[in-house]
């Protein structure tokens, strides 16, 4: 069953219950009022008859078994007077007898309302002005044209309103579900080859549909990022692996074209080894970059001494590049070594520091980088890496973190162009800020700000 049908039925049932409850309440309230008025009139008529009979015969000691020829009452109307021995003393119409058990109930409860077939009756135990106890029974048939008219009006009103409620319920449920139908239609227009489309959100409307569309848009953002990551990874790895493979293949083909000396073969193998290492390094970085952008991948954190991480990373850089030099500024080094503890992933932190330290030396003419570690009053840990490389312009400070972006001024320096992209992803995972400033127009200063060690994973 569709939601629109469910909403219509729910609205119809609620309206039905409320309407019929209201109409029944009105009908029975008016009916009770009519019955109360009827029995009050019947009571008054009975007492007035007794007064008239008592006036003409104070002792009410005679029996009148013959109906009065002068009465204007209908056949259903009657006034009967009994004594406490249930002997009939007076009757307007002599066509009606009351059972003794009914008369006995009247004596016991003083006043009794009851029915005799289709005739309504009231019995009263009454004491005359002369002190005599008698039983008065008055009968009549309740025929209320007002009650019948009200019933007919209510039946017509009930049917009309039910029809109106059914139509209006269907219409308003359709109106309420119209934004959902629009959302479904827009979602059907989104295909894997073009995930840039988004659902329309009315900024002036903050209802549940707008929140649903916002949630869908966020989901589409994540899906688009995932698709772009996959496409970018495939494109990047094919681009970066193709060149070393082409170099390896061409080198081997040239060497195999004719007989070579042993030294030439050694030189060929050395060149192939360098290309293979470059390809391995690029592949590892691309795999780490893909792991960072995969939100389903769980990254474990543990307490780490940042100064020890920097020293270990510096040693790794020196091992691969013995000509690189590092200068450490320890003037603001904290006295408490625990102040340099962060929560992080050891492998990822080392990769980020390795790329930053290696780039600082690689792009500096003297292959020298300066490193400074310090803390501030808020217990945040700062690492500054200063180089003497060409100044990074403001418009390039965001571009250098894009995959495979290479500055024209450093195009002659060997590199893959994904090192800083990987650094940005690692620092984002660790909630660490990276700021790049110019170092007196003769270099760049990379400042890392690590949060307190209770960062969430």
Give a three-class secondary structure readout of the chain: CCHHHHHHHHHHHHHHHHHHHHHHHHHHHHHHHHHHHHHHHHHHHHHHHHHHHHHHCCCCCCCECCCCCCCCCCCCCEEEEEECCCCEEEECCCCCCCCHHHHHHHHHHCEEEEEECCEEEEEEEEECCCCCEEEEEEEECCCCHHHHHHHHHHHHHHHHHHHHHHHHHHHHHHHHHHHHHHHHHHHHCCECCECCCCCCCCCCCCCHHHHHHHHHHHHHHHHHHHHHHHHHHHHHHHHHHHHHHHHHHHHHHHHHCCCCCHHHHHHHHHHHHHHHHHHHHHHHHHHHHHHHHCCCCCCCCEEEEHHHHHHHHHHHHHHHCCCCEEEEECCCCCCCHHHHEEEECHHHHHHHHHHHHHHHHHCCCCCEEEEEEEECCCCCEEEEEECCCCCCCHHHCCHHHCCCCCCHHHCCCCCCCCHHHHHHHHHHHCCCEEEEEECCCCCEEEEEEECCCCCCC
Task: In whole angstroms, give the CA distance from residue 436 to residue 446.
Answer: 5
Asked if residues 140 and 32 have their Cβ atoms less than 8 Å apart, the reply is no
Q: Tokens representing 19?
A: 């309407």
| Residue 41 pLDDT exceeds 60 | yes
- Give the pLDDT confidence of 46-99 residue by residue, as tens digits: 888 888 887 777 666 545 444 444 445 566 788 888 888 888 888 887 677 788
Domain definitions of the chain by residue range = 3-147, 208-293, 302-450
Query: Of 170 and 105, which is predicted with more confidence?
Result: 105
- pLDDT above 70 covers what percent of the chain? 83
How far apart CA 61 and CA 46 sit, in angstroms, is: 18
pLDDT at 383: 92
Determine the distance from the C-alpha atom of residue 111 to the mean position of all C-alpha atoms in its chain, rounded to a whole number. 65
Q: Which residue, chain included where needed, has tokens 């691309």?
A: 286
pTM for this one?
0.49
d(C-alpha 151, C-alpha 128), whole Å? 42
- Name the pLDDT band for 457 (thresholds 50, 70, 90): very low
Provide CATH code, domain 208-293.
1.10.287.130
Average of per-residue pLDDT across 154-176 = 83
Chain-centre distance of CA 330, in angstroms? 53
- Dist. CA 53–CA 60, nearest whole Å: 7
Q: What's the CATH class of domain 302-450?
A: alpha beta
Domains 3-147 and 302-450 fall in the same CATH topology: no
- pLDDT of 332-342, one tens digit each? 888 787 888 88
CA 330-333-339 angle, 5° bins: 150
123 vs 101: CA distance, rounded Å:
12
Query: What is residue 415's predicted lDDT score, i.e. its pLDDT?
Result: 62
pLDDT value for 171? 81
Residues 325 and 367 sit within 8 Å (Cβ to Cβ): yes
Residue 434 has pLDDT above 50, yes or no: yes
Beta bridge partners of 385: 371, 446
pLDDT for res 65: 47
Task: Give CA–CA dist 279/452, Å, rounded.
Answer: 37
* Cβ-based neighbour number of residue 34 at 10 Å: 15
Kindly report, residue by residue over 244-279, the tens digit of the pLDDT.
777 788 878 877 787 778 787 788 888 888 778 777
Classify domain 3-147 at the CATH topology level.
Beta-Lactamase (3.30.450)
The stretch 397-408 carries a mean pLDDT of 73
324 — pLDDT class (breaks 50, 70, 90): very high
């Amino acid at each position: 069953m569709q939601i629109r049908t469910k909403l219509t039925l729910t609205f119809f049932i609620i309206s039905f219950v409320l309407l019929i409850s209201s109409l029944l309440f009105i009908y029975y309230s008016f009916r009770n009022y009519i019955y109360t008025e009827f029995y009050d009139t019947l009571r008054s008529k009975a007492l007035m008859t007794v007064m008239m009979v008592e006036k003409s015969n104070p002792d009410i000691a005679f029996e009148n078994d013959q109906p009065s020829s002068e009465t204007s009452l209908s056949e259903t109307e009657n006034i009967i007077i009994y004594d406490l021995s249930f002997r009939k003393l007076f009757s307007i119409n002599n066509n009606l007898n009351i059972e003794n058990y009914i008369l006995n109930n009247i004596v016991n409860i003083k006043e009794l309302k009851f029915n005799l077939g289709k005739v309504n009756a009231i019995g009263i135990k009454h004491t005359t002005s002369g002190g005599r106890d008698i039983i008065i029974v008055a009968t009549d048939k309740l025929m209320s044209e007002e009650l019948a008219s009200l019933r007919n009006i209510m039946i017509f009103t009930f049917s009309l309103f039910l029809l109106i409620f059914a139509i209006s319920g269907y219409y308003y449920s359709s109106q309420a579900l119209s934004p959902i139908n629009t959302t479904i239609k827009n979602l059907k227009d989104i295909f894997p080859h073009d995930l840039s489309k988004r659902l329309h959100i009315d900024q002036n409307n903050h209802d549940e549909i707008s929140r649903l569309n916002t949630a869908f848009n966020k989901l589409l953002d994540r899906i688009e990022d995932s698709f772009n990551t996959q496409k970018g990874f495939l494109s990047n790895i094919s681009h970066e692996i193709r060149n070393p493979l082409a170099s390896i293949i061409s080198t081997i083909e040239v060497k195999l074209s004719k007989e070579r000396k042993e030294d030439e073969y050694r030189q060929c193998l050395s060149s192939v080894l360098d290309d293979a290492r470059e390809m391995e390094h690029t592949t590892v970085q691309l795999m780490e970059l893909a792991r960072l952008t995969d939100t389903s991948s769980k990254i474990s954190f543990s307490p780490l001494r940042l100064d020890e991480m920097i020293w270990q990373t510096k040693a790794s850089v020196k091992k691969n590049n013995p000509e690189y030099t590092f200068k450490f500024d320890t003037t603001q080094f904290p006295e408490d070594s625990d102040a340099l503890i962060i929560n992080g992933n050891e492998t990822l932190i080392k990769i980020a520091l390795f790329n930053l330290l290696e780039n600082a030396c690689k792009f500096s003419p003297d292959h020298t980088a300066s490193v400074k570690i310090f803390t501030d009053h808020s217990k945040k840990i700062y690492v500054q890496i200063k180089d003497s490389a060409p100044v990074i312009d403001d418009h390039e400070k965001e571009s250098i973190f894009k995959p495979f972006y290479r500055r024209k001024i450093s195009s002659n320096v060997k590199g893959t162009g994904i090192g800083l992209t990987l650094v940005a992803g690692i620092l984002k995972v660790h909630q660490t800020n990276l700021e790049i400033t110019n170092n007196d127009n003769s270099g760049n200063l990379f400042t890392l700000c690590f949060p307190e060690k209770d960062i969430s994973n």
